[in-house]
Amino acid sequence: MASGTTEFVVRRNPEMGPGGTLVASPTAPFDAPEPELGSETMLVNVGPQHPATHGVLRLVVELDGETVVSVVPRLGYLHSSFEKLGEYRTWNQIVPLTDRMDYLAPLIYNCAYVMAVEKLMGIEVTERCKVARVICMEMDRIFSHLLWLGTWSIDVGAFTPFLYAFQQREKVYKLHEALTGARITTSATRIGGMMADLPEGWAKGVGEFADNLPATLDEIDALLTCNAIHIGRTQGIGAISAEEAVNHGLTGANLRASGVPYDVRKDRPYYDYESYDFEVPIGCHGDCYDRYLVRMEEMRQSVRILHQALERLPGGPMDVEDPRISLPSKTDCMSDMESMIHHFKLITDGIPAPAGDCWFSVEGSKGELGMYVVGDGGPKPVRWRIRPPSFVNLSAIPRLSEGHLMADLIVINASLDIVLGEIDR
């Protein structure tokens, strides 16, 4: 067949030759220029009810073929108005609202909130309480990262790590239940202490969990870290430079994967974190694969902190010995008139906090979790603001995913480790 002729073979179906060239087609000669197809971008709605959006997140995606042109996240499907509700509750009554925000790491939220209020009130909690809260927070950091690891591996097409991770999560659920009676809605902290002292044998249970976790992590490591499919799906996907990551307000593992060693536990230490021996893993490419590596290593570092905290867990009282804050014992209330009145007043009136405002941030599992509380001298906050780490992290998703494929958008979303309860609040 010489070029330039109009001779062509008509077949029922177009066939592909080597290299994907069109050999023959019922409508167009193979050597004629490809027809100018009217090309337009397509809007695809992802979510809000889809497992790959990790909650009720809705992404309106503009696609050119399979390439993402723009992403517009739509939020608010889980908006619960926690900050408004907080203004109608006493300081202690807000605690149950906090764990409903990040149900993947409820104890970190419980602790962060009371730590901010305690700072506003000028309360120094007991040594035992400090170490107990460090144990709670590190345990829940692992708890949250394990869920991220499981759902992340499903999003890149691996199912087994999900099961391994959830076996370990179940142990933390049981520890939550032993500590507070609830598996997710823990509400474990109170201003000036915890809801109760640690139950007998609980610290030993945490120790066993910390002992067994690295073996599971090694197994998942072996399944994913050098897995060609996993590497192909994640390396070079959703990369962001250190400067841009800081500019977009990214925190937590997402920021550290870009090489910025900002960790609130190291940079603004609270609860003697400076005296614990642990390291902050950082990545150097800022892509999805580095975020995976950083979180895997963070779990191992949390195990180290857990071991050290369990070792130094002191005896003594859990709550501060301050009658303005701590409730009298149940026995006293039942036998002593003044104690009963005192108990009644503390419960019905609430604890007054001084006028003023206070910002306190901790290193949450998703990033820098800030609590901003404003008091006016009364028992209720004027304003209670949560600096939501995944809200700010998610705001970078248009920047991270534009130009990538639709399938990569799912991986990028998984790599950010978001929780919608906290984004929508």
Asked if residues 319 and 126 have their Cβ atoms less than 8 Å apart, the reply is yes
- Residues 247, 314, 341, 344: which binds other proteins (CB under 8 A)? 247
String marking each residue 340-359 x if it binds other proteins according to CB under 8 A? ----------------xxxx
Asked if residues 256 and 246 have their Cβ atoms less than 8 Å apart, the reply is no
Q: Which of 416, 415, 409 is nearest to 47 (CA)?
A: 409
Using rule CB under 8 A, residue 286 touches other proteins: no
- Residues 47, 106, 193, 283: which binds other proteins (CB under 8 A)? 283
CB-based burial, 221-230: b 16+ in 10 Å, e otherwise:
eeebeebeeb
CA gap 155, 151 in Å, rounded: 6
- Part in contact with other proteins (CB under 8 A); list of ranges 147-155, 243-251, 322-330, 401-409: 243-251
Please tell me the total number of residues recorded for the chain in this structure: 425
- 425, amino acid identity: R
Using rule CB under 8 A, residue 229 touches other proteins: no
Using rule CB under 8 A, residue 362 touches other proteins: no
Using rule CB under 8 A, residue 266 touches other proteins: yes
Using rule CB under 8 A, residue 237 touches other proteins: no
- Residues 96, 205, 249, 350: which binds other proteins (CB under 8 A)? 249
Using rule CB under 8 A, residue 241 touches other proteins: no
For other proteins, the binding residues in 130-189 under the rule CB under 8 A are none
SS3 38: coil
SS3 300: helix
- Residues 24, 50, 83, 96: which binds other proteins (CB under 8 A)? 83
Q: Which of 45, 63, 76 is nearest to 394 (CA)?
A: 76
DSSP of 150-202:
HHHHHHTT--HHHHHHHHHHHHHHHHHHHHHS-SS----EETTEESSPPPTTH
Q: Which of 96, 134, 117, 108 is nearest to 192 (CA)?
A: 117
- Residues 184, 196, 284, 334: which binds other proteins (CB under 8 A)? 284
- Part in contact with other proteins (CB under 8 A); list of ranges 90-98, 172-180, 387-395, 413-421: 387-395
Give least dist CB 370 to other proteins, A.
6
Indicate the residue among 74 and 324 with the shorter CB distance to other proteins: 74
Give least dist CB 132 to other proteins, A.
19
For other proteins, the binding residues in 49-68 under the rule CB under 8 A are 60, 62
* Contacts of 413 by beta carbon, 8 Å cutoff, 6+ apart: 52, 53, 54, 57, 59, 155, 397, 401
- Residues 138, 155, 287, 297: which binds other proteins (CB under 8 A)? 297
> Encoding tokens for residue 78?
């889980």
Give least dist CB 379 to other proteins, A.
16
Indicate the residue among 124 and 338 with the shorter CB distance to other proteins: 124
Give least dist CB 366 to other proteins, A.
14
String marking each residue 203-222 x if it binds other proteins according to CB under 8 A? --------x--xx-xx--xx
Using rule CB under 8 A, residue 194 touches other proteins: no
CA gap 415, 396 in Å, rounded: 12
Using rule CB under 8 A, residue 312 touches other proteins: no
